[in-house]
């Protein structure tokens, strides 16, 4: 698979439950996903062939801050640079909408995600201790229990200093 280009297609609220299987790939608790699935802006990640490769959901956190709440790619589309394209396209979309910063949180146990967000230019901003202990079931990745959330942020506009 060479360099595949993608596009982000806005998903209407009424169609969102159809994307639940993708969202649950990235956020193991279906009950938690259902709490936010109808909020914010959801985009289907569509590859050149017209296939849906995954989904990304963004929530307005504050006046000029948008949170990448969930991003999930079907396993067959992982490792080909699509996630990086989603991040880059979303920066453009939300910069045009007037947002100044994007945030994203991931578990302390999500080693691949911790690397991915830093490669995409995000910086660690805070640790939300015990965040994942509120989930209905314990989550383990790579033999590590998800306990704390690591919050990353990235400026969307270049500072003029």
Looking at domain 6-155, what is its CATH homologous superfamily?
A: Gcn5-related N-acetyltransferase (GNAT) (3.40.630.30)
> Rounded mean pLDDT of the chain?
92
- CB of 117 closer than 8 Å to CB of 106: yes
The sign one gets for the Cα dihedral 20, 138, 86, 3 is: negative
Nearest to 55 by CA among 13, 4, 91, 16: 16
The 3-class secondary structure across 123-160, one letter per residue, is: EEEEEECCHHHHCCCCCEECCEECCCEEEEEEECCCCC
Q: Is the pLDDT of residue 2 over 80?
A: no
Distance CA 17, CA 14 (A): 8
pLDDT class of 159 with cuts at 50, 70, 90 = low
Query: Average of pLDDT values for 99-111?
Result: 96
Looking at residue 103, the DSSP 8-state letter turns out to be E
pLDDT above 90 covers a percentage of the chain that reads 81
pTM: 0.90
DSSP 11: E
């Amino acid at each position: 698979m060479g360099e595949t280009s993608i596009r982000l297609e806005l998903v209407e609220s009424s169609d969102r439950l159809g994307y639940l299987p993708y969202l649950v790939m990235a956020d193991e608790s279906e009950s938690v996903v259902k709490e936010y699935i109808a909020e914010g802006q959801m985009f289907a990640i569509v590859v050149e062939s017209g296939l849906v490769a995954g989904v990304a959901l963004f929530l307005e956190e504050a006046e000029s801050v948008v949170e990448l709440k969930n991003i999930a790619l079907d396993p067959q589309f992982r490792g080909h640079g699509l996630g990086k394209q989603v991040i880059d396209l979303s920066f453009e979309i939300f910069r045009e909408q007037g947002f100044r910063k994007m945030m994203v949180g991931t578990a302390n146990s999500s080693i691949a995600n911790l690397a991915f967000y830093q490669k995409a230019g995000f910086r660690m901003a805070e640790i939300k201790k015990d965040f994942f202990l509120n989930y209905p079931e314990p989550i383990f990745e790579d033999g590590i229990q998800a306990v704390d959330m690591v919050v990353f942020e990235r400026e969307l506009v270049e500072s003029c200093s």
